[in-house]
Structure 1
Amino acid sequence: MHEHQIIFQDIVEMMKSIERSLIRQQQLPTFDVISLTKRQESILLYIFSAENVTMSDIASYFDISRSAVSQTLNKLEEQDIIVRSINKENRRELNLSLGENGKKLHQEYKRIEEMIVQDYFSKIKIEDLRQVRDIIRELQGMIVKEETQ
């Protein structure tokens, strides 16, 4: 096996191991209490990370149909995780905001993120973290460039 492939597999396996360890330590939200599908969880995390997100944004980001987004949002809305409202400036567009359960999940997610930074990332030299970030950014740029060609 080519060394690049071995390193890639090592990185993927290490990231999975980190995720499993954090979940076992109950430092990552599993969303089990509210019972979300993987798609619902992924869309919710996207909503957490983006401001003024629309259904079109979600469909484009995940490369799924607006109908699939709508079905997923229906389930999130039923659980008071998100709230949809008509955009007054463009009545064809819906604004998405967090419902009460969504706000609680978001606060928990932020608390856990801060804990991970404090417990782990803060123990790594900032120069090393910047280097990892820059390498991942370079990889991302190469993949996005290939995707758009």
Structure 2
Amino acid sequence: MKHRITEHDLQLQVLKLASITEIAKAQGLEGNQLLLSANASLKEETGTDVLRTMHVQLVSPDGERILTPTQLGKPYGLSAQKLNAVLAEAGFQEKTEAGWQALPKGKPFAVLCDVNKHQGGRTAVQQLKWKRGVVQYLPLRA
């Protein structure tokens, strides 16, 4: 059964997050990296993922919402794997040992994000996310 956090507990967690964020700022972090780092620290300490609980959607540095391949492909009935294949076939990204990397054609639409999921241990991973505008250049049908 999923534990529901109370409003009071959430407020305390948000205050802790603000405090941790100030420490991360002092270390030179900023933007999404700052939020993700502070949230990961709080989650490790308390077990609460405040950003997920509050349904926070990260935005790109220019203020545009960025989407995962799953979110981007959903309106077109495509899984993340199929959307990634479409992006690759269209020349926007390529798969490397380190994961998906934006190609020059994709860089105006791509944002490489540190994400709060872990693969094979405690190391956080990076994920290539996309601005919605990329879909106008892909052969997709809603």
Q: Same fold (TM over 0.5)?
A: no
Q: TM-score, normalization: structure 2? A: 0.27
Going by fraction, where is strand more abundant, 1 or 2? 2
| Bigger share in helix | 1
Flag the structure with more relative contact order, 1 or 2, with Cα contacts below 8 A and sequence separation at least 6.
2
Q: If the length of structure 1 is used for normalisation, what is the TM-score?
A: 0.26
